[in-house]
Structure 1
């Protein structure tokens, strides 16, 4: 199974968790809302049954559709593919799932420490199972790099929640259309929806830092203001290297592969006190997508570029 489809499955589970946690307990330091007291039996049972059902059904479907031919367990090294964009995607997905699982537990009345642990373990359980499946899949294999990225994303959530009681730093996802999919549509996707999962040239991953949580600012400083550092890649139509291409007249088509780095303002809407508690709770877990904002980019090919709003189509 390709990483993009694996990411799609993980993101579907993440969105399911987020969708059920609209009334979940928000991050206590950011919101100041009271801690829930005692497990709410109905919610708790519903969360357990729903999570177990989704896990089981998803894995059975994958086994039927994607792992029909089983081979002896083996590993492979894909750490140099796609300029490591897939590894950053693994970490971001693990972070999202850990946070979603945590919020479900808090919504059920589970205490803070147990909710953090449960959210992290659920994310690692699901992703480790998929990696083991890959280890028995022809054409793929168990990736130690993927597992390290999974663990890093989970640790980012758990470490902050244990240590600070809030998410000072979060991981976010962005996307823009690129020129590359038409050259290899079966690899990079034929439609926009598929390209969001398969075209690494169009994906950006952002490390979002809440400034009020890390700087000695006064009470008038906007608590919702974040600063994001982004990463992406461009010119990729193959994993390790680009295959040879020619145009209609037989002339070679070449794309240079390079990394892109961004910096951009952002907003953590869950920290806006005028929002209702329910809306704050939902935004705190669902704000996985980067809000469009001006950004400054650097790459070794085109140097420094300023983007007024959305990133341009490459």
Structure 2
């Protein structure tokens, strides 16, 4: 349930950003950009009305479609599920939404500090709403771990933007098809689109560091070059543990649940000087997906592996 709404929220923010991509203020690279001369009333009202309308419609859809049976509010400890992949996903989603809300406010002419605060509060509002609904849903529950991850993702964006006026470190998402969904399609997804949200075996989350901003490099060093550290899990067809599954001959099939760690180069396209300032800012907001690139992987089953372009199907 929450997976679908989380995806819709991200698509909503990005669709609004598409409308301002050619006219937005430039993305700050080293220091905060000067505040706009004033709020653009038309844009500001449009953003407020659009955000309020989307939030209200989302609530109505949730109540009607996915949270029909309401139970007393309760909590649910899922911190040990899915090798914590869902927690990293919450943090990445909150980071992306915070950045999207910030850019919408800046496009409207809101000053830097108010835009940072508003973007973070919007992200937490949407995410907290989902958690409260889960708290009243049978089979789910309010997750303190999810909320902590939401706050962490928002803090990662806001802290950097307040402190240095740029995103030295960002969170990105990657995906590959895996062999696991056919064993539990109702849990891991029947189609590729659903699997991108629900199959944690296929997801990777990347901590992307801009080297020119983090290290004392010379002027000739490429400002767009990033180094990413990734995390994923594999062998999971259940949250805490795998339920028994069998092949066509009735033989038991077992999967070893394990963590995977990656390192890979990346590009922050928003820092390419040949792009216009407005395009740089839009790209920095929308570049949530990790660009395929060579990578090194380590896991306890297969040790160190090199992948020349994209991660193989497992």
Q: TM-score, normalised by structure 1?
A: 0.96
Q: Classify the secondary structure of the residue corresponding to 1:29.
A: coil
CA displacement, residues 102-140 of structure 1 (integer Å, 9 cap, x when unaligned): 000000110000000000000001111111111111111
What does residue range 2-41 of structure 1 map to in structure 2 within 5 Å? 3-22=2-21, 23-30=23-30, 35-41=35-41
1:17–1:101 CA contact under 8 A, matched in 2: no
Q: Which moved more, 1:210-219 or 1:10-19?
A: 10-19
What does residue range 146-157 of structure 1 map to in structure 2 within 5 Å? 146-157=146-157
2:32–2:164 CA contact under 8 A, matched in 1: no
In the alignment, what sits opposite 1:129? Answer: 129
Over the aligned positions, Cα root-mean-square deviation in angstroms equals 1.4
CA displacement, residues 205-224 of structure 1 (integer Å, 9 cap, x when unaligned): 00000000011101000000
2:29–2:271 CA contact under 8 A, matched in 1: no
1:296–1:306 CA contact under 8 A, matched in 2: yes
Shift, 1:19, TM fit: 2.8
CA distance in 1, matches of 2:82, 2:64: 28
What does residue range 1-314 of structure 1 map to in structure 2 within 5 Å? 1=1, 3-22=2-21, 23-30=23-30, 35-314=35-314
CA displacement, residues 227-285 of structure 1 (integer Å, 9 cap, x when unaligned): 00000000000111100011111111000000000000000000000012221121010
Cα 1:17/1:144, change in 2 over 3 Å: farther
Q: Structure 1: 5+ residue runs without aligned partners?
A: none
Q: Structure 2: 5+ residue runs without aligned partners?
A: none
Paired residue total: 313
Q: TM-score, normalised by structure 2?
A: 0.96
CA distance in 1, matches of 2:147, 2:8: 16
